[in-house]
Structure 1
Amino acid sequence: MENGNISWKRMMFKGNKVWQAFGPDEKPLYKNEKVLIKYNIKQDYEYWVNENNVESISQDRSSESPVKKKILNKASFNNRKETEKDASEGDIPSGAICIYTDGASSGNPGPSGIGVLFRFGEHEKELSRHIGIATNNIAELEAIRTALLELKTTKKPVRIFTDSSYAYGVLTMNWKAKKNPELINSIKKTMTSFRDLKLVKVKGHAGHAGNERADFLATRAVKNEIK
């Protein structure tokens, strides 16, 4: 898994398995006290993240008993949920469906895509879709709309994480929308059908695993279309 003078090693980042970059001296690559990671060894996108959030994967996990592995996996998942709570600046209710959405546009307007990551318990589902020619704001809204329509229940708590100030503002803070009123009103109407739904604003490109993955999925949808 060599890329020039860089080698990639399997590590853990906030409860998620990632690949971390190491130099020819076998030391991690550093930039402004951050290390370089990617979620998939074949992906183009790479991220600089806080080194304190990256941990090694024990090499002797294969020799552990199934019971011990289960306990460790559960602990890892619980740690990930705690990270999500910190990033959301609020509590996530027990049994909640966590959704990370992002939109991308090449040209703004231009070829656009959406990325959605669903998490419920230990289950995950990803969605990466090209939506045609649109602006980045429309892509951000469309990602949220699509996520809501994908859900099969309105009775469970739902938390949708977005890094779009625009989407958060027009959907939750009564910002006056000069454009896209039909799409915005459609999303608001759908939101009212859920028993417990909240939109949570997170900082983009800040090392939040769920948000970074949604960003990758949205960008991939655009790249696949314009190849």
Structure 2
Amino acid sequence: MSEKLKQVIIYTDGACTGNPGAGGYGAVLIYGEHRQEISGGYKRTTNNRMEMMAAIAALQSLKQQCIVTLHSDSKYVVDAVMKGWARKWQANGWKRNKKEKAKNPDLWQKLLDLCDQHQVEFVWVKGHAGIPENERCDTLAVAAARQPDLPKDVGYI
């Protein structure tokens, strides 16, 4: 008999002080009455990479397979997953078309792998629109980007 999967709600956000620049990500995970906040940052990265890292870090923190509703204010992340673009890029050797390479293939691969481990639906939310959890993620991401001695984002070239 299979165990019923936990339903987790996740909010994520990324921030960058310059693009590229120092960046941070934040995520709020909610399961029933439980709430967890995570954040981190890198010394030189991009806003899109931090948006992706927020989702990756949140999904990596799950200890078992879950049903996830992940809210992000990044159309880049939400549309690439929900409209199947990232899977097409992956199938085409990380190319968007015959001439153009897909950006951030390292993070797309991680994110798609995590989506294979969990049942994830990505939902776009308007940023800076007063959604408490989204605002909290922004606060976490900005604070993370401002930390001293941030590590290098080895995937950013």
Structures share fold, TM-score greater than 0.5:
yes
Match of 1:147 among 58, 66, 79: 58
What is residue 197 of structure 1 aligned with on the other side? Answer: 120
What is residue 85 of structure 1 aligned with on the other side? Answer: none
SS in 1 for 2:147: helix
- Structure 1 residues 223 and 182 mapped into 2: Cα distance closer, same or farther (>3 Å)? closer
SS in 2 for 1:192: helix
**By how many angstroms is 1:206 displaced?**
0.7
User: 2:136 matched to 1:213?
Assistant: yes
Asked if the contact 1:95/1:121 (under 8 Å) is kept, the reply is no
**By how many angstroms is 1:224 displaced?**
2.8
**By how many angstroms is 1:95 displaced?**
5.2
Q: Distance in 1 between matches of 2:6 and 2:41?
A: 30
Q: Distance in 2 between matches of 1:171 and 1:106?
A: 26
Q: Which moved more, 1:184-193 or 1:106-115?
A: 184-193
- Please provide the CA RMSD for this pair: 1.8
Give, as a single letter, the amino acid of the residue that structure 1 aligns with 2:103. Answer: K
TM-score when normalising by structure 1: 0.54
Structure 1 spans left out of the alignment, 5+ residues: 1-93
What is residue 21 of structure 2 aligned with on the other side? Answer: 110
Structure 2 spans left out of the alignment, 5+ residues: 86-95, 150-157
Mapping for residues 19-34 of structure 1, pairs under 5 Å = none
Sequence identity percentage: 37
| Structure 1 residue ranges, 4+ long, deviating more than 2 angstroms after superposition | 174-178, 223-226
Higher relative contact order (CA 8 A, sep 6+): 2
What is residue 102 of structure 2 aligned with on the other side? Answer: 178
Give, as a single letter, the amino acid of the residue that structure 2 aligns with 1:215. Answer: D
Query: Residue by residue, what CA displacement relative to the aligned partner does 1:41-71 show, whole Å, maximum 9, x if unpaired?
Result: xxxxxxxxxxxxxxxxxxxxxxxxxxxxxxx
Give, as a single letter, the amino acid of the residue that structure 2 aligns with 1:103. Answer: G
Give, as a single letter, the amino acid of the residue that structure 1 aligns with 2:8. Answer: I
What is residue 169 of structure 1 aligned with on the other side? Answer: 79
Q: Please tell me whether Structure 1 or Structure 2 has the larger radius of gyration of its CA atoms.
A: 1
SS in 2 for 1:158: strand
Asked if the contact 1:130/1:225 (under 8 Å) is kept, the reply is no
SS in 2 for 1:161: strand
SS in 2 for 1:170: helix
Alignment size in residue pairs: 131
Give, as a single letter, the amino acid of the residue that structure 2 aligns with 1:104. Answer: A
**By how many angstroms is 1:119 displaced?**
0.8
